[in-house]
Amino acid sequence: MKVIVSLHLKPLPGSPNFLNFEDCIDHAVRNAILIENCGADAIIIENFNDKPFFMKAPPETIASMSVIVREVIREVSIPVGVNVLRNDGVAALAIAKAAGAKFVRVNQMIFPAAMPEGFAKPIAAKMARYKRLLNCDAKIFADISVKHSVQLAKIEDFVDNIDRAYCDAVIVTGKKTGKPPEASTLRKIKELVDVPVILGSGATPENLRKYEADGVIVGTYVKEGEEYSCEKLKRVVSEAKKLGGELDL
């Protein structure tokens, strides 16, 4: 099972709690190096601390993330991805193209949903065309029934339409950050889709084995304050490597 660490950026320019951009860069690079050295297979960079989020990211967020992603890629050898909250997959593709990221995460690729930030419209058509326009090779990892949302479609509806959305992998989460999905839900999705399935929230060394996932995204569990814990991450990596999976990063 591949381990992807969600690297939560410090508040970026324009967000309510922004302080200093050089600190944002230093924090991201320092922790990215630690994450690689502690055995993770990939990093996904997201503007986690820009809350409350816009559904479509403002220019200063996109510019800042492009700089940081590029700086991180220069310092690590593992694949780096991008997630622009709350649902700006088009911006994520632009950042990936400019900075050299290998994959992007999209929270609401297909079907609409109600979110704290507003009504999330599906963006699969935009993503497919923009990826072609940019000639961008970044893979698209799409959430199914993403956390912190009220979904208008059932799990069966999602899996029936994954092929049409050109997703390279799907992500399954619980209802909120730190809460895992039901193991039976992830297992059902894995049986029905033809792409790798990633456990997207609530993973711990103790519960990984009950999920038949191809990959896992960890974030808050492997942090101590704003910094990442090598000890905690190594525990996750150790357990994940005992398990199978077909996620190609």
- Domain ranges, ordered by start, for the chain: 2-240
Q: What is the mean pLDDT of residues 107-117?
A: 97
Q: How far apart (Å, rounded) are the C-alpha atoms in residues 136 and 153?
A: 29
pLDDT digits (tens, 9 = 90+) for 202-222: 999 999 999 989 999 999 999
Confidence of residue 34 (pLDDT cuts 50, 70, 90): very high
Report the distance separating Cα 25 and Cα 238, nearest Å: 29
Single out the residue of 203, 202, 175, 172 nearest to residue 189, CA to CA: 172
Beta bridge partners of 215: 2, 198
Q: How many helices (H) and strands (E) does the chain have?
A: 7, 13
Selected from 3.40.50.620, 3.30.70.270, 3.20.20.70, 3.90.550.10, the CATH number assigned to the domain covering 2-240 reads: 3.20.20.70
pLDDT digits (tens, 9 = 90+) for 41-50: 999 999 999 9
Report whether 234 contacts 205 (CB < 8 A).
Answer: no
Q: What is the mean pLDDT of residues 177-197?
A: 96
Mean of the per-residue pLDDT values of the chain: 97
119-176 residue pLDDT tens: 999 999 999 999 999 999 999 999 999 999 999 999 999 999 999 999 999 999 999 9
